[in-house]
Amino acid sequence: MQVLVIHGPNLNMLGNREPEIYGASTLEDINFWLNEQAAKHGIELIIKQSNHEGKIVDYLQEYGVEVSGVIINPAAYTHYSIAIRDALSVLTVPIVEVHLSNIYAREEFRHNSVTAPVCKGQISGFGSLSYLLALEALIAILCKRKSVNE
C-alpha cells in the first residue's frame, strides 16, 4: 500500500521559518517520523514538496491514481488554488488535508480553505503532530475500507 504525501510552498523552510508558529521541527524530521510510522503499518510513502502550484498538480495527477490515499498540506495554496482543488477532486482515494498551525486561529484570510471540501477531513493546529494524526486517520479509513470490501 502506498500513500502520497505532498508538502506545499515554504514547508522546505521549516525549522527556520517562524518557529513560534510552525515549531522547530524540520521537513526532514517530519518525513522521518512519517516514514517510521508508515513502516509500522506496512505502508510505503511517496513524499513530494514543491513551492510551485503546477508541480503540485503534476504530483497529484502522476501519483494520485496509483496510491491508496493522499495527505496534503497545500500551505498558502489552501486559500486560493482552484487548480489544486480541481486536481484533488478528480481523485477517488481518501485525502486528508493537514496544517501545522490552527488556520482558524490566525489571520482571517487563512480561515477559508478551497481544498478542504474535496478532502475526507482536515487536521490542523498540532504542529508536526498534525502530519502523524493525518497518517493515522488515513490508515484507519483505509483499514475500514479494506474490511468492508472483504
Q: Catalytic positions, please? A: 22, 99
Which among 121, 110, 31, 126 is positioned nearest to 77, based on CA atoms? Answer: 110
Residues 26, 105: Cα–Cα separation, whole Å? 23
